[in-house]
Structure 1
Amino acid sequence: MRTFLAIDLPDGLKDQLAARQDDLKIGRHVPPENLHLTLAFLDDQPVAALQELNDALETLRADPFALQIEGFATFGRAAPRVVFADLVDTGPLLDLHRRIRSRCHGAGIVLPRERFRPHVTIARFGTGAGPDETRRLARFLEGNAGFRPWPVPVEEVVLFQSILSGAAPVYEALSRYRLDGRPVYDPD
């Protein structure tokens, strides 16, 4: 099962990011319902490993903190590949990421060693933005440098299944883990 752990964003922030996407007339936009902050991409995992991870994540605790987005940035210097909402003051988020990696490792899920740069992807360019797209992207970044929505409290981590489909993947929440340890109410 193809899965990842993430912070789901509230609908109000997704709406604000979608409005900014409307200003970005280039790239493949991430559908608003798919906007999230990935903490760990788990790739394909057997159900037994996910169950062991579930047990480990049920004990996950973290002090309250908030996500603060400020402006946008890109990955890929000469030919940008990704446009993302940038985050400030990510110390507590980095700590949460370390705790999650540790629990994944304890459950036998080996994650690639890579630098973690927390972000919310809003658009992608397959092999990279071309010269015209790069100029338009520079105008978008400059025009949205002051974008700073309200801080978002982080209360839980979500285990998502990623179901690949034609246009965009479908993300289905499998489990939610409250950082304060209270049970998650799930009406389903």
Structure 2
Amino acid sequence: MRAFVAIDLPEIVRDVLEDLQERIPTGRLLDPDTLHLTLAFLDEQPQDLLEQLHDDLSSIRALPFEVQLRGLGTFGSRAPRVVWAGIETQPALTALHEKVRGAARLAGIELRRERYRPHVTLARLPDRLEPGELEKLRNFLERWQNFPCPPFEVSTFTLFQSILTPDGAIHDPLAEYPL
């Protein structure tokens, strides 16, 4: 089962991001209902490991905290592949990310070693952008870099199953965990 652990976004934040998505000049926009803040991507995992992970995630303790979206960017060193909205640095978010990764390790799930760059993916870009599209994308990023978005409180996180379809991923919540 393909799975990930994430923070679901409140409706007011989804609305802001959906308005922002409508301004992205190129690429395939993600369904606003699937927008989330990933804590750990688990990839394909057998059911028994996910059941063990559920037990380990249930034991995580943390206080609720506030998150602020800030800035826009792209991933892809030579050619941009993803457009994202960034998250302001937040020690409590980093600590929750580390606790989730620790729970995954305890459950026997091997995660890729990579620097945590909290973000919300807004769009996926084609392999190659025409020069005009690239310029429009740069203009969009520059113009909307300081988009207004209210902060929101994180009081839960969720284990999701991700089902890939030709129209994009479907995210099915498997369990929610309170902070």
- Aligned CA RMSD, in angstroms, stands at 1.2
SS at match of 1:92: helix
Shift of 1:128: 4.7
Which stretches in structure 1 are left out of the alignment for 5+ residues? 180-188
Residue pairs, 1:42-81, within 5 angstroms: 42-81=42-81
Query: 1:150, 1:35 → 2: CA distance?
Result: 16
Partners of 1:49 and 1:107 within 8 A in 2: yes
Identity across aligned pairs (percent)?
45
SS at match of 1:164: strand
161 and 138 in structure 1: CA distance in 2 versus 1, 3 angstrom threshold:
same
Partners of 2:25 and 2:140 within 8 A in 1: no
Residue pairs, 1:126-141, within 5 angstroms: 126-141=126-141
Say yes or no: does 1:157 pair with 2:149.
no
Partners of 1:79 and 1:134 within 8 A in 2: no
Which stretches in structure 2 are left out of the alignment for 5+ residues? none
Q: State the TM-score, normalizing by the size of structure 2.
A: 0.95
More moved, 100-109 vs 125-134: 125-134
SS at match of 1:23: coil
- Deviation string, structure 1 residues 83-125 (Cα, Å, up to 9, x no partner): 1001112322111111110010001011011111000000111
Shift of 1:70: 1.4
Query: 2:127, 2:118 → 1: CA distance?
Result: 22
Count matched residues.
179
49 and 76 in structure 1: CA distance in 2 versus 1, 3 angstrom threshold:
same
Given residue 96 of structure 1, which amino acid in structure 2 is its aligned partner? Answer: L
Partners of 1:4 and 1:40 within 8 A in 2: yes
Shift of 1:50: 0.8
128 and 105 in structure 1: CA distance in 2 versus 1, 3 angstrom threshold:
farther
SS at match of 2:22: helix
